[in-house]
Each structure stands twice: as C-alpha cells, then as structure tokens.
Amino acid sequence: MSIHNIRKVKMNFAKRTHNCGELRESNIDDNVTLNGWVSVRRDLGGLFFIDLRDRYGITQLFIYPEQQPELYATAQSLGQEDCIWATGKVRRRDSVNTDMPTGLIEIWIEDMGVISKSSLPPFEIKDKSDVSEELRLKYRYLDLRRPSLQQKMIIRNEVSQVCHRYFHQNGFVEIETPVLMKSTPEGARDFLVPSRINRGQFYALPQSPQIFKQILMMSGLDRYMQIVKCFRDEDLRSDRQPEFTQIDVEMSFVDQDDVISMTEGFIGELWKETLDIEVAGGFKRLSYKEAMERYGSDKPDTRIGMEIVDLSTTVNGSGFKVFDGALESGGIVAAINAKGCAGYSRKQIDGLTDFAKKYGAKGLAYIKFTTDGISSPIAKFLSDEMMEAIKTATSAETGDLVLISSDSWRRALTILGALRLEMARQTGIFDNLGGTFDFLWVVDFPLFEKDDETGDLHAMHHPFTSPHPDDMEKLDTVPEEARSIAYDLVINGAEVGGGSIRIHNSDVQARMFKALGLTEEDAKEKFGFLLEALTYGTPPHGGVALGLDRLVMTIAGTSNIRDVIAFPKTTSGLSLMDGSPSGVAAAQLAELGIGLAEKPE
C-alpha cells in the first residue's frame, strides 16, 4: 500500500496551539486552543470559571452560562483533574492576578470537550498540603502534577543538560559502563542478580563504575564522563536511596588540582545556568584533620560559626575523673560555645544530652555563664582558675552556654559537630542563611578507617585510592596513619561529591590489598583483571563522582531527596506506587536454581 493511501487517525480533541503558561497581553484577541487538567472550577451564576493547568502554568477560562447553555452544561459536569481541551478568544482580565504569569488575560471559551475523565483524586493537587508522603508516593502520578514537584524535575533536567554540554566542551567522551558486573569485596551492600544461564552464579548491580572508568583510562580514552545509575543495598536515611544517580568523571595525566579545577568549572557553570549566580573558582580547602577539629565533621557547614575548641591542655590535671579518664586513654576534651543560650532550662539541657547520646556520648557537661555567675554541675570539680581559662578559651561571655564533650578524638569531635548543627537549628541560625552557598573541599583524608569492634582496616573511600606520596612507606608499617589523595566537595554542609587520584602502579595496588587483609588469591579472584591491566602502561589518573540527586536538592532548596527523583523509594526501600519489592513465582526461582530459606522464628 502506498504511504499516501494510509488514512490519518482522527483524534477526539483539538490539539493545543499554546500551553497554559505562555499567553500574555500581546495575545489579546487571538483565537487559541489549550489542553490540560481542570485545577479549579468556580460557578458564580453569571460566570463560570475554570483554571486549566499543565506543566507550564495555569490559565483562567470562562463561560457566560446564559449565552452558552450547552458549554455551561459541559463545564458543570467537569470534575477535578479531568483532562480537557478548550478553544476560545484571549481577552484582558477584569481583575488582574499578579501572582500568576498569565494573570493579565483569560480565555472566553467558544468550544470545549473532555479528553479523559478523572476519578475522584485521593488528595487535592496543590503545593501546600497536609497529605502524608506515603499517600503521595502511592499516587505518584498525581503527586507529580504539583507545580513545585514538576519544577524540581525541570531543574534536574537542566542540571543534566549543563553536565552533558560542559564536559563535551572540555573534551570528555560519554561512555556507558556495565550495569551487570562482578560483586565487590563490600558484597554485603551489593544488589545481586542471579544468572539463569549460569545457574548458581550472580551478577551485582554497580555501587559505582569505579573499576570500569579506571579501565577506560588504561584504554587511552583519557577523559570519560557518564551520568550513571548506581545501587547500594544498605540501611537508608532521609537523604539516601537504594538507587541513585551520579555524574561520573575520570581524567588521565592529571593531579588533584586538575580534577578539582575541572569540577569547580562545572559547578560555576551549573550555578550560573540554573540560578544565575556567579560562583568564583578556587574554593577553600580544609584537611580532614582540620575539618574534624574545627567543625566535628568531614562535611562541615562553615557558615554557622560555633567552632570547636580543644580544652585538653586547659583541663589537664583537673582531678575531674571524666576529663582525666578521657585524656589518659588518649582522647580529648573539647567544647563549643552556644552564644546567648545560657537561659536554657534543665529540660532543654536534658534534651541536648539525649541528642548527644545518639552519637555515642555517655553524658554531656555544660557551663552556663549567667548574670548571677557560673551555673554548672561540674563547677565543683574545677578550680576558679580553670573555669576562667575555659571561659577565655571558648570566648564565652555572660549569657553563653558552653557544651563540653570528653571522649576519643573522633567520637568527642563528632558529638560536638552534631551538637553544633543542632544548636544552629534550635537558635534559628539556619533560618537566616537562605540563598547562601558555601563551597569547600575537604582533602587529605585518612587512607583507612579502623573498625572499632574488630580492629580491621577498611578503605575510607575505596581500595583504588592512591596513598599520599609522603605516606607511601606507612602503607606497609602503620597503614592506619597513612593519608590518601582523596577529596570531597561539600556545599552547605552536605557532601555532594568525592573523588581521588587512583593507584596506577600494580605493586602499590597489591600492597593496598594486603593492608586491607586480602590475600593474593583473594585479590586475584576479585580484581585479577584490574591488576593485570595495571601492568600494561597505566597513566596516572583520577576523577570525581558528583551526586546528581544531591546537587539538584541543593539547587532546588529541598532537604528531601524524594522531591528530586521522579519515582523514589521510601526510607525502607519500598516503591509504594508499583508495590516493589515483591515476591516472585516459585517457577521463576526454580528456573534460576534458587530456593528460599524458611524465615527463622
């Protein structure tokens, strides 16, 4: 049959000439057709109004019931969220609505029809609502009609487009890496995929394309980029998802400064394109040690002040068992000054103590500097001279509350870092920071971290991170003291990305595996192909992975990661809309050679 003889399918609606957000005063007297969803209906007797919504905006339509009885009957039958078309003439509104871009005009309907009727929605489609998140996630297709949520999806798209453009302009090749791969040493966090063809064998979904992007550097593709889905089967938090998206970047013949400079250029372009904010490069840098000692976090928000003060020397030999015990065991005594909080009640202090205990604190010492003098349960253990020294060290004044933690170095600082943020929330400091952005790099991370229970070493970033050149010998003697060439990008106290210079020498990589407790056989079994590839002239290389979800959250000004993902999971990893994860038929498991163990009582 000739293509010219194929009949066109006639649709049951008039296609739109404009969207619901674009008509302006210049369109007055134009004949237009709109398609969209009924947001609001208002029957005022002499006039019938419809607010028609699509992702571009809202336009007001109206009918004269007495002059247009048939259209009025159709309009009266409309329900909320009905999908309709409407044709009419643009005219100037009698009452201007300055809150909406189309508020100067309205459409006098000449013809209209229903494209698709809607069931009664379980909640009203509007931005400000008390509807539970669980209900919104169950009906995500309705939730996504909310303008604020659609705007976040649009911002996400803008971030992706800037990403593709920026890295293309800088000579990067966009390459897809496998989604089915070999399980890693951290396999307990892998999502496993059984193989039907190779029964008893499993793929893993990637936690990161790390190995593959390093292989690409060894292949001579010296600049790689990918916006990639990653998966991690671990306990979830409000800012994490079992599947997440990262902007993955790798470069050859570079050092740390090269990677950081390229990343800062991307961030600058991203902020300019999405927020029209100029961001200068040369972000400040803090070593991991300095970040912990000043802010109690390796992702510090440096906008809020309240820096940690080490009181170890100040209170040494105080005779107070809690302080002395911490110092004798190699720990520290440190404090923060919560300005103007000396009026905190006992109940409020107890609340802070309970909060600190979530981070491992056994208790919380405090000193109030009031107009009536010093108020503190530890005052009787400290001399007047020592108390004055604490006041001087913390720059405390009348009206201030000093909170003190004494524990191991890491735990004491972590406790104070958490309290620092909590006090900023309670005192409203964060409320005055809207629209401000604080960019910094945390560098010189430890190469390893030690498990408090087993004493085993784990790679702080991953086992392919290069040791710091000055600490290379420590890799074989005191690996827990070795630093790495690793760097994290922090914006407003949130880690939005991290990277490192990689190991490009097979001998160093083998020593790294040995320090992690992997035998030669284990290393060969899990990473034999990488170790072999390293022997074929590997260039020095490094990269960074930026969390796309985190970046969009920061730009969109939300603290909820589910706001920037179209179809997110709950904090327990459930997809309420489609009901996953779910059971599968026994026949499917049998074909895979898998049986389910009985659930223990």
**Count of CB atoms situated within 10 Å of the CB of 17:** 13
User: Nearest 5°: CA angle at 79, between 75 and 85?
Assistant: 55
Res 5: pLDDT: 60
Same domain, 280 and 327: no
Angle value at C-alpha 39, between 37 and 41, nearest 5 degrees: 115
Is pLDDT above 70 for 6? Answer: no
Q: What is the DSSP string of 493-524?
A: TEEEEEEEEBP--HHHHHHHHHHTT--HHHHH
**Quick one: 238 and 342 in the same domain?**
no
Strands (E), 175-242: 192-194, 202-204, 223-231
Q: Report the pLDDT value the prediction gives residue 527, as an integer from 0 to 100.
A: 85
Q: How confident is the model at residue 1 (pLDDT cuts 50, 70, 90)?
A: very low
Please give the pLDDT value at position 444: 96
How far is residue 580's CA from residue 567's CA, in Å, rounded to a whole number?
A: 12
Q: Which two tokens stand for residue 237?
A: 């938090």
- Count how many domains the chain has: 3
Kindly state whether residues 179 and 259 are assigned to the same domain. yes
449-465 mean pLDDT: 85
DSSP three-state, residue 587? helix
Per-residue model confidence (pLDDT) at position 318:
87
Of 432, 458, 479, which residue is a domain's last?
432
Confidence of residue 522 (pLDDT cuts 50, 70, 90): confident
Mean pLDDT to the nearest integer, 219-241 = 89
d(CA 299, CA 503): 25
pLDDT attached to residue 484: 95
Q: 82 and 144 share a domain?
A: no
- Identify whether the C-beta of residue 487 lies closer than 8 Å to the C-beta of residue 499: yes
Asked if residue 92 is part of any domain, the answer here is: yes
pLDDT tens figures, 181-226? 988 765 558 899 999 999 989 999 999 999 999 999 999 999 999 9
Q: Are residues 359 and 422 in the same domain?
A: yes
Q: How far apart are CA 23 and CA 16, in angstroms?
A: 12
Whether 140 and 274 map to the same domain: the answer is: yes
- What CATH number is associated with residue 61? 2.40.50.140
| Per-residue pLDDT, 422 | 96
- In the chain, the percentage of residues whose pLDDT exceeds 70 is 97
Range of the domain at 46: 25-116
pTM: 0.91
- Say yes or no: 109 and 153 in one domain: no
Q: How high is the mean pLDDT of the chain?
A: 93
Residue 432 has pLDDT above 90, yes or no: no
Residues 213 and 251 in one domain: yes
Mean pLDDT across 309-324: 92
Of 349 and 432, more confident: 349
pLDDT score of 268: 97
Residue with tokens 């496998």, as numbered in its chain:
178
**Is 247 inside a domain boundary?**
yes
The pLDDT value given to residue 2:
52
Supply the pLDDT for residue 414.
Answer: 97
Q: Are residues 211 and 352 in the same domain?
A: no
pLDDT tens by residue, 471-511: 999 988 999 899 999 999 999 999 999 999 999 998 999 89
Residue 269 has pLDDT above 50, yes or no: yes
Question: CB–CB of 516/463 below 8 Å?
Answer: yes
